[in-house]
Amino acid sequence: MIVAAWICLVAPLAAALLITLLGNSISRRVAGYVATASVLGSFAAAVVVLAKLWSEAPADRSHASTAWEWLTAGSFHVGLRILVDPLSVFMMLIVSGVGFLIVAYSIGYMDGDNEERRYFAYMALFVFSMLLLVQAGNLVILLAGWGLVGLGLIVAIARRRIDLDVDKLSFLRG
């Protein structure tokens, strides 16, 4: 179950990295399919986690997993930690399910756009950020997920360069 939760989290990040590293060597449409498949894989992994969590006793439905520790001082531990409980699994299903529909719809919507590859890399990064936010096992990871969600929104919305004309900004000079 914990492995499926990590797969749910890492699949969109892997897609974002793959699209970014391959760049122009893949077609725009393939970038969309890679992002969509990764988010669908995330949803499938979340369904697996739900099925395994459902089969456990209600008192045993909270699992934490730490990939590595960043800081340890006595009883204080900070690391890359995820928490799998009924609420986080519910949110994993919502984020990956709705994210899949949005990314899949975007394949047609973004067809022919010059920055289609970049858009799908950003969308995969955004889904990863949301999943990191809902699976966070400590405050540091929660804040990292929240910050990445903000970054993902900024780069996905403002993905086009905005050319500002000085004359249009003359009202700022007074």
The per-residue pLDDT for 115 is: 80
Structure tokens at 43: 């949803």
The per-residue pLDDT for 163 is: 47
Tell me the mean pLDDT per 10 residues along the chain, length 174.
Answer: 94 96 91 97 97 92 87 84 95 97 92 84 94 94 93 74 50 50
The per-residue pLDDT for 92 is: 97
The per-residue pLDDT for 83 is: 94
The per-residue pLDDT for 76 is: 81
The per-residue pLDDT for 161 is: 53
| CB burial readout 115-138, b (16+ within 10 A) else e | ebbbbbbbbbbbbbbbbbbbbbbb
- What angle do the packed helices 28-54 and 86-109 form, to 10 degrees? 160
Q: Please report where in the chains the tokens 């909270």 appear, as a residue.
A: 62
The per-residue pLDDT for 79 is: 87
Note whether 144 and 121 are within 8 A (CB): no
> Could you give the residue ranges of the DSSP H alpha helices within 60-135?
86-109, 116-135
Q: Please report where in the chains the tokens 């799998």 appear, as a residue.
A: 84
Structure tokens at 73: 């001082």
Q: How far is CA 118 from CA 12, 27, 108, 114, in A?
A: 14, 12, 15, 9
The per-residue pLDDT for 77 is: 80
Query: What's the rounded Cα separation, in Å, for the pair 130 and 143?
Result: 11
